[in-house]
Amino acid sequence: MVHIQQVQIKRLLGFEALTLDVDSNLQLIAGPNNAGKSSFIRVLEAFFSDPTAGDFRQLKPLNDYYVQGGPRMLSSIKVHFGGLTDAEANELNDVVSREGTFWVEITCTRKGKISYRTWTGTDARSREIFEWVLQSFDFVKIPSVRVSGDDEHDADRSLARLYDTLEGVLIRSGSSRSTQLQKDFAKAMEPVEDLVRGVLNESVKAVATELPFQDPVLGVDLPASQHALRGMLREAVITSHDDVVVPIAERGTGFQSALVLGILRYVSSKSRQAGTSVLFAIEEPEAFLHPQTQRAMAKILKDISAEAQMLVTTHSPVLVDSFSVTRIARLPLSPEGMTYSAWKPDLAVDEEGRLTRYCDATNSELVFASSVILVEGHGDKLVVDYLLESITGGPGGHYALGIAVIEASGITTISHLLRLAQLFGVRAFVLTDKDGVHKSGDNKRALVEILKAKDAKPSVAFLNGLRDLADRPVTTLKAALEHQKELNTMLQPWDAFVLSSDLEGMLLDVVPQEKLAAMLGPDEASEVSKETAEEFATGAAGREAMAAHLGSKGWNSDRKKSGKAKPHIPSALLRQHLGSVSSQHRAIRPLMAWLGGIVDAHKRAPL
């Protein structure tokens, strides 16, 4: 069946120049809030509605580049199609490429002059091709619940979405060709409307002399048929063999959302039988569904996509987790006007499988972020989240800016998450312990391997210099911080940062020895006995014993650690201490400055 392969949008809504490849079956479109996911669907809907100059005016950008642009600046929608049958290719042979594809472009000037273009056709022939497209496609949009219309009798947004879905598949809108279901509905409604109109007209005539109108010829206009449709649905009930009757309007939101998918499955099957191509544009189908039902919904979407092409926008990590990364396009946040190309990834089978596996419901959070900070473990994540909240002024402040913190559950996993971030065009920052640049047991330095995973890889000379600098030993905190500064100066262009030792070592450096020993003792964390806490509290030997217990490798990554402390203890104690002091310790300042720079680089999403 003919399907969309690519969409190009220029100077419409928030898009200055967007190119997006579309999967022939199912394309997921994700990204931060206000990135333009709904705008993309809106522009594509306009294309299939045979837009007028007035329609284009409603899509004109408000960005400075357009407002201040010249009078000859054009706006356009260009859609590439593939999947033609031999008969269709012969019918369109003058505009079909050697690869069996063709495209149609609609352009509009600032003054509203519309033109049509194809590969080789004249404007008239291009208009004919465009009309052929309109006749060949059934475009059905299921809007987000955020914009679904609620009437005064029902504020339930999931039910409103169900109304909108039925209207979309049963009632023709715009200039697109009526589907067979829409024709059947109109044909069935016509005698009912004629009967109602006739009764009302005759009733009006019967009392015309008593009505306060000077015109003796009176008539009755009926509302649009969707009002009758909504009335029927509002009173519709689900029945069973045991005589249980439950109104659909009173069922749960999850049931109503699932019924939307049932309607789409039915419509796709009917259209397939009629030989037409169906394109469903569905916004946020996960609304009102809990994670398990979202996964079941994903399977239904896959089944439907075998019979109809689907464009699905989403904010759901669960939905992203349910599909191959090759089917996911991410739109970035671009307040000044988006110039972006989302090409279909060309991945080897093993790489596709690996990245899809790592793009799980937790890690796929990066798809919806503007930037991501990758850390080794859960304790690191808690500390970084805490510091970012203090920088941004409150809980979740960095997430509001589009900055996500993701734990890799081990430094060796960071390279896979970095590759995933690069695939989706998300800027990824990496935070590691100092042992990431020191030689480990297998003679590999983990951070060096992470840097090698970047699309633009550092030179051999750079990596050799990094190794030489990292292996320089230090013996004091002052020297360790100076060494850390030198390392991070080298790493700054690569969006990487190393601690002066590790999280446990930072705790040792920031909290006075005696206080930290007391925090570990029975009166606070109850991590060690009173006697052990007293041993930890004094002398170099006590400090070394406490470091070994906490599991710190130290500034030179050469300390033997017992790792007896519970995993959450170092992070919890560090956050507890930082919350009790008013000034920053010199050992925490470098990390705070690095995180502050990341925050400063982000703009708030436009309203």
Q: Is residue 605 part of a domain?
A: no
Do 311 and 229 lie in one domain? The reply is no
Q: Is residue 450 part of a domain?
A: yes
Element (H, E) at 407: strand 403-407
Contact 105, 123 (CB under 8 A): no
Do 165 and 310 lie in one domain? The reply is yes
How far is C-alpha 457 from the chain's CA centre? 27
Q: How far apart are CA 219 and CA 487, in angstroms?
A: 84
* Arithmetic mean of pLDDT, 295-312: 90
Q: Is residue 346 part of a domain?
A: no
Last residue of a domain, which of 250, 281, 302?
250
* Arithmetic mean of pLDDT, 346-350: 94
Do 118 and 260 lie in one domain? The reply is yes
Do 135 and 272 lie in one domain? The reply is yes
Does pLDDT of 242 surpass 50? yes
* Arithmetic mean of pLDDT, 33-48: 94
Do 83 and 105 lie in one domain? The reply is yes
Contact 84, 96 (CB under 8 A): yes
Q: Is residue 142 part of a domain?
A: yes
Look at residue 142 in the predicted model and tell me its pLDDT: 83
Q: Which of 6-10, 121-125, 331-335 has the highest mean pLDDT?
A: 6-10
Do 325 and 428 lie in one domain? The reply is no
Q: Is residue 391 part of a domain?
A: yes
* Residue 226, amino acid: Q
- The tally of domains found in the chain comes to 4
Supply the CATH number for residue 69's domain: 3.40.50.300
Q: How far apart are CA 29 and CA 367, in angstroms?
A: 10
Condensed to tens digits (0 to 9), the pLDDT of residues 435-454 reads: 999 876 555 799 999 999 99
Q: Which domain holds residue 512?
A: 504-582
* Arithmetic mean of pLDDT, 272-281: 79
Does pLDDT of 597 surpass 90? yes
Do 421 and 545 lie in one domain? The reply is no
Look at residue 136 in the predicted model and tell me its pLDDT: 87
Look at residue 141 in the predicted model and tell me its pLDDT: 85
3 state SS of 507: helix
Last residue of a domain, which of 250, 285, 311?
250
Q: Is residue 351 part of a domain?
A: no
Give the predicted TM-score (pTM) of the model. 0.84
Look at residue 360 in the predicted model and tell me its pLDDT: 92
Condensed to tens digits (0 to 9), the pLDDT of residues 384-433 reads: 999 999 999 988 899 989 999 999 999 999 999 999 999 999 999 999 99
Structure-derived torsion over alpha carbons of residues 416, 297, 39, 178, reported in degrees to the nearest 10:
140
Relative to beta strand 371-375, strand 427-432 is parallel
Condensed to tens digits (0 to 9), the pLDDT of residues 159-210 reads: 666 777 777 777 766 555 666 677 777 787 788 778 777 777 777 677 666 6
Relative to beta strand 309-313, strand 328-330 is unpaired
pLDDT band at 147 (very low <50, low <70, confident <90, very high): very low
Q: Is residue 99 part of a domain?
A: yes
Do 323 and 467 lie in one domain? The reply is no
Do 23 and 134 lie in one domain? The reply is yes
Q: How far apart are CA 55 and CA 45, in angstroms?
A: 11
Last residue of a domain, which of 275, 308, 330?
330
* Angstrom distances, CA of residue 482 to CA of 384, 413, 463: 22, 29, 20
Handedness of CA 288, 290, 291, 297 (dihedral sign): negative
Do 125 and 230 lie in one domain? The reply is no
Q: How far apart are CA 219 and CA 592, in angstroms?
A: 74
Do 486 and 555 lie in one domain? The reply is no
pLDDT band at 5 (very low <50, low <70, confident <90, very high): very high
| Average model confidence (pLDDT) across the chain | 87
What are the residues facing 427 on neighbouring strands?
A: 371
Do 139 and 117 lie in one domain? The reply is yes
Q: Is residue 565 part of a domain?
A: yes
3 state SS of 128: helix
Regarding predicted confidence, which is higher, 516 or 141? 516
